Amino acid sequence: MQTESARGRSVNETRNRILDVALDVLGRNPDAGMGDIASSAGVVRRTVYGHFPTRTDLVRTLAQRAVGEIVAVLTEVDAPERAAEAVWVDFVARMWPLMRRYRVLLALRRGEYGEEIHTLLEPVDTILAGLVQRGQDRGDFGRHLPAGVLSQVAYATVFSIADNGLAGGAPGARAATITSLLLLGVPEARATALADGQP
């Protein structure tokens, strides 16, 4: 049964709600305080401290969860024998509906958490760099930038497109896919074909 008050919710229910809301709130404004997060979660500030002793703990947990989810998508989509192009297309398709959810990671890279977040994002960075490297080796992606940089730039670009009003919708997904493929050095004709599901 749905309870309107937050009184009778199970521990994990509240905890997850806080985490989810924080993902959203901090995505919009990385400087949001515990108070903002609490009220957005329909909970009192004191309650948040009951689940996360420190703001830093909240953020770290948040980032860990988000990174875990992205890595999951990535390992699910990326197979050594698949073409890097196709993997990237699938990756963007899977990420696009959840851009809002992971915006916080970009916002966190620069911010009071210097090394903390950087080492936390390392898995994602590594997989992405490897993927782009493979694409370059097989001639699918361009060599105008080293794989490590190109992957980051392409990744950031998808977020950039989402930030500029195209977040969520299907047309946005197609545009983001094509644009990021162009950036990666895929010719326009092939990029549109890939974005429309042709192998």
The answer to the question of residue 117 lying near its own copies (CB under 8 A) is no
Q: Tokens for 85? A: 């192009």
CA angle 54, 58, 63 (to 5 degrees): 145
Site for its own copies in 13-32 (CB under 8 A): 29-31
What lies within 8 Å, CB to CB, of 49 at 6+ separation is 34
The answer to the question of residue 68 lying near DNA (CB under 7 A) is no
What lies within 8 Å, CB to CB, of 76 at 6+ separation is none
Q: Can you tell me the distance from the alpha carbon of 175 to that of 180, in angstroms, rounded to the nearest whole number?
A: 8
The answer to the question of residue 93 lying near its own copies (CB under 8 A) is no
Least gap, CB of 3 to its own copies (angstroms): 35
Q: Which window, 15-23, 35-43, 88-96, 151-159, contacts its own copies (CB under 8 A)?
A: 151-159
Q: Which window, 13-21, 66-74, 84-92, 102-110, contacts DNA (CB under 7 A)?
A: 13-21
Least gap, CB of 197 to its own copies (angstroms): 16
The answer to the question of residue 33 lying near DNA (CB under 7 A) is yes
The answer to the question of residue 139 lying near DNA (CB under 7 A) is no
The answer to the question of residue 110 lying near its own copies (CB under 8 A) is yes
> Which contacts of 40-48 are long-range, i.e. CB under 8 A and separated by 24 or more positions?
41/14, 41/17, 42/6, 42/17, 43/6, 43/14, 43/17, 43/18, 47/6, 47/14, 47/18, 48/18
Interface residue list for its own copies (CB under 8 A):
29-31, 107, 110-112, 142, 144-145, 148-150, 152-153, 156-157, 160-161, 164-166, 175, 178-179, 182-183, 185, 187-188, 192
